[in-house]
Structure 1
Amino acid sequence: MKKRGILNSEIATVLSKMGHTDMIVIADCGLPIPDEVKRIDLALEQGLPSFLKTLDVILEDIVVEKVTLAHEIKDQNPTLDLEVKKRFDQQKLNYLSHEELKELTKRAKAVIRTGEATPYANIVLHAGVIF
């Protein structure tokens, strides 16, 4: 058994295969996930696991070059937007419309579906490199 790190085998596998600029999405329980993209469903019930807890665990395991969020989070979920901003340098933040973000998910290696039930709690993480 693994001693530490991500225990979910699907997430660990996807992260280990990611290269520079590859994308992974952490989503709320309502984001439509394209059929052609790997779905890793963690949702247990509304709110569990939370978006932020899932994000924090993923961030312990990968290098992130930039992130993409929906513009709508600024007005519809400003508390979450602030929490995300605390975790990244401002130059790493990129905002698109929610419709554009949904299109971007089609190119992701996987979408991790959380139990989060607050508006626009979706993020695209673009992988960086360790050197």
Structure 2
Amino acid sequence: MKANCILHPQLAAALATLGHTDIVLVTDAGFPIPPGANRIDLGFYPGTVDVLEILRVLRSALFVEEVRFAPEVRDCHPALYRHLQQIYTGSGATFSCAGHDVLCQDLAYRAKVVIRSGSFDPWANFALVASTDPFAWFTEASGVKPLPAYVERRQRIRDNAVPALQ
């Protein structure tokens, strides 16, 4: 048995296939997952496994450059928003809006993997846009100048920045 890693074989395999800009959609228990989606169902009882647990584990397992979610998370569910900020503080990720219709009708179909939680938390649906390690790809030794987006992400990580929905 491997220590300190994702034990779920289907989830570990799906995450291993991710590349830059691929989408991982983490959903509540009632999200309408499209037919044919690479669905990994972790929900087996109301509240278990919770969406925040999944996000915490994914935070340590992959690089994320953007977290997209409905603005209602910030505007109507401040506790969930604060937890989300805590999870992604210092990650370099940015937050952006994606209304429920965008999550259901666009991002769900584009997601490389959809992870369903057992969460009954309103608006607990999050599209994680995969990234690369902003420090590994552009080193001083390589002599290659990093793109501004990488410079900005590096700075957010160094500053331990708290992401906020704009």
Query: Normalising by the residue count of structure 2, what TM-score does the alignment of the two structures yield?
Result: 0.74
Q: Are 1:29 and 1:117, in contact at CA under 8 Å, matched by a contact in 2?
A: yes
**Residue number in structure 2 paired with 1:74:** 74
Q: Matched residues, percent identical? A: 35
From 116, 119, 125, the counterpart of 2:119: 116
Deviation at 1:126, TM superposition (A): 0.5
Structure with the larger strand share: 1
Deviation at 1:73, TM superposition (A): 1.7
Larger radius of gyration: 2
Aligned CA-pair RMSD = 1.5
- After superposition, residues 1-131 of structure 1 pair within 5 angstroms as 1-88=1-88, 92-102=94-104, 103-130=106-133, 131=136
Query: Normalising by the residue count of structure 1, what TM-score does the alignment of the two structures yield?
Result: 0.93
Q: Deviations over 1:32-72 (max 9, x none)?
A: 10112111001111000111111101111100111101112
The structure showing larger relative contact order (alpha-carbon pairs under 8 Å, at least 6 residues apart) is 1
Q: Are 1:76 and 1:119, in contact at CA under 8 Å, matched by a contact in 2?
A: no
Residue ranges of structure 2 left out of the alignment (5+ in a row): 137-166
How many correspondences in the alignment? 131
Deviation at 1:31, TM superposition (A): 0.6
